[in-house]
């Protein structure tokens, strides 16, 4: 009788095929998981910027604004030098950038305003929110409501941040 030690070539090939299939499944799920949490993270960070702007404005009695650059997909919280009609703005926090498909798709304002690629939502100490179509200007228009549509790699992860202009409160809503 022969002493049989080791594995046959067929057994090794079957084991490698099983490991390959498991690796492909794990990689696909991991990529989907990364896209989902990147989208959700951007949505929460963006909503946090809205709430932070409102809180800082109320506590400091100075204007704050969210400078939104649609082409770069960034949102930056800035502090003004006055309570109204601020002329000088400085960054209060580093900008937030969407990754892995997360970003700002579009913004719909009420009353309807044609927005350029870079604009600002200005928070006043009295609770009112204004839209500034020219970020270097001191003038701004009153805002009743703004719907910021957040894009994502998956349609299921898309969301809307609704900002109410008369209270400066923001709400996250799933979908568009």
Sequence spans of domains, the chain: 9-174
Ramachandran class of 168: left when φ > 0, alpha when ψ lies in -120 to 50, beta otherwise: left
**pLDDT confidence of residue 3:** 67
**pLDDT confidence of residue 71:** 86
Q: What is the pTM of this model?
A: 0.80
Query: Percent helix, strand, coil in the chain (nearest 5)?
Result: 30, 30, 35
**pLDDT confidence of residue 120:** 94
CATH superfamily of 9-174: minor pseudopilin epsh domain (3.55.40.10)
CA gap 176, 156 in Å, rounded? 10
CA gap 25, 22 in Å, rounded? 5
**Dihedral in degrees, nearest 10, Cα atoms 27, 150, 168, 111:** -170
Burial class (CB in 10 A: 0-12, 13-18, 19+), 63: buried
CA gap 115, 111 in Å, rounded? 12
**pLDDT confidence of residue 95:** 86
The pairing of beta strand 96-97 with beta strand 145-151: unpaired
User: What string of DSSP letters covers 11-78?
Assistant: HHHHHHHHHHHHHHHHHHHHHHHHHHHHHHHHHHHHHHHHHHHHHHHHHHSS-EEEEEETTTTEEEEE
**pLDDT confidence of residue 33:** 84
**pLDDT confidence of residue 102:** 85
Question: Which residues of the chain fall below pLDDT 50?
Answer: none
């Amino acid at each position: 009788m022969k002493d049989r030690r080791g594995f046959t070539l067929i057994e090794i090939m079957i084991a490698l095929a099983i490991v390959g299939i498991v690796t492909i499944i794990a990689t696909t799920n991991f990529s989907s998981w990364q896209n989902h949490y990147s989208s959700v993270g951007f949505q929460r960070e963006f909503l946090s910027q809205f709430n932070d702007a409102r809180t800082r404005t109320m506590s400091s009695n100075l204007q704050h604004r969210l400078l939104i650059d649609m082409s770069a997909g960034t949102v930056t919280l800035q502090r003004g030098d006055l309570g109204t009609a601020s002329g000088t703005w400085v960054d209060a926090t580093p900008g937030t950038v969407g990754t892995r498909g997360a970003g700002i798709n579009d913004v719909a304002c009420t009353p309807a305003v044609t927005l350029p690629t870079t604009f600002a939502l200005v928070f006043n100490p009295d609770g009112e929110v204004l839209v500034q179509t020219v970020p270097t200007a001191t003038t701004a228009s009153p805002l009743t409501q703004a719907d910021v549509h957040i894009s994502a790699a998956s349609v299921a992860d898309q969301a809307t941040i609704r900002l109410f202009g008369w209270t400066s409160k923001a709400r996250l809503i799933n979908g568009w």
